[in-house]
């Protein structure tokens, strides 16, 4: 049984999510603020966290950032504000999905299902990749690295280098960059990127891709133009 942590200082929101989550078969634990959430994650493992942004003492963004320093747990952020800045900042600190209040509990449950399944699949894929490292063929330069325009991706180490300097990318930024570089010169639509990186059941809008591309480009610095915007179509990595 998957276990989730619900973090919000509004009891009615917590009870609503808890009720629906238990109907879906989840084990649920709760916390009233960011500090409680951090401590709970130190002591327990969770398959996902649903966390409000605006809370006393420690806000959701700060808590998410601290939790990700010691645990890899997917986070769905709740907020009454849906500004572009809030979403960009959320993705920057490692938020997996962003839901604006008021929200549909059924949709939130669907998002939780997708986030947990995707996180499980990604970890499985990473584990299989690590096992493959013993294969001399996979350890060849051709198979291990993606390169172009001064950008180098180490697929085994999950590291990205821009002009030989290591850059810290979030999981989504990394996944988008790899997908684009694996399809050099090919225009990828926003829907294709959503389906590949977020999964076919993603419920968000395609602006999410634009926000993540903006963050990715900021990490690429002088090589940002390697990721081209094709108006009315999507994005491509220009070799």
Last residue of a domain, one of 64, 93, 123: 123
Segment 90-95 long-range contacts (CB within 8 Å, at least 24 positions apart): 90/53, 90/61, 90/64, 91/170, 91/172, 91/211, 91/212, 91/215, 92/170, 92/215, 93/61, 93/64, 93/65, 93/68, 94/64, 94/65, 94/68, 94/170, 94/171, 95/61, 95/64
Q: What are the pLDDT digits (tens) for 157-204? A: 889 999 999 998 888 889 899 999 999 999 999 888 888 887 655 555
182 and 86 part of one domain: no
CATH number at residue 9: 3.40.50.2300
Spatial strand order of the sheet with 97-100 comes to 27-31, 3-7, 48-52, 75-79, 97-100
User: pTM of the predicted model, to two decimals?
Assistant: 0.63
* Domain span including residue 198: 135-237
61 and 148 part of one domain: no
173 and 198 part of one domain: yes
Q: What are the pLDDT digits (tens) for 1-34? A: 899 999 999 999 999 999 999 999 999 999 999 9
């Amino acid at each position: 049984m998957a276990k989730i942590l619900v973090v919000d200082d509004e009891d009615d929101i917590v009870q609503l999510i808890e009720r629906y989550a238990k109907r879906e078969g989840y084990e649920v634990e709760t916390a009233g603020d960011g500090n409680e959430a951090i401590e709970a994650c130190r002591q327990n493992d969770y398959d996902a966290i649903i966390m409000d942004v605006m809370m006393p003492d420690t806000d959701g963004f700060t808590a998410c950032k601290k939790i990700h320093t010691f645990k890899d747990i997917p986070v769905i952020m709740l907020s009454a504000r849906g500004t572009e800045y809030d979403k960009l900042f959320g993705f920057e600190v490692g938020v997996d999905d962003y839901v604006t209040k008021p929200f549909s509990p059924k949709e939130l449950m669907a998002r939780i299902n997708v986030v947990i399944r995707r996180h499980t699949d990604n970890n499985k894929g990473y584990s299989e990749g690590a096992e493959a490292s013993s294969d001399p063929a996979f350890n060849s330069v051709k198979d291990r690295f993606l390169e172009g325009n001064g950008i180098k991706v180490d697929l085994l180490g999950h590291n990205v280098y821009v002009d030989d300097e290591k850059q810290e990318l979030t999981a989504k930024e990394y996944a988008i960059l790899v997908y684009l570089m694996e399809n050099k010169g090919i225009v990828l639509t926003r829907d294709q990127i959503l389906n590949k990186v977020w999964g076919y059941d993603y419920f968000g809008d395609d602006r999410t891709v634009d926000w993540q591309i903006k963050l990715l480009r900021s990490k690429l610095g002088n090589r940002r133009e390697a990721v081209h915007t094709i108006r009315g179509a999507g994005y491509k990595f220009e070799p």
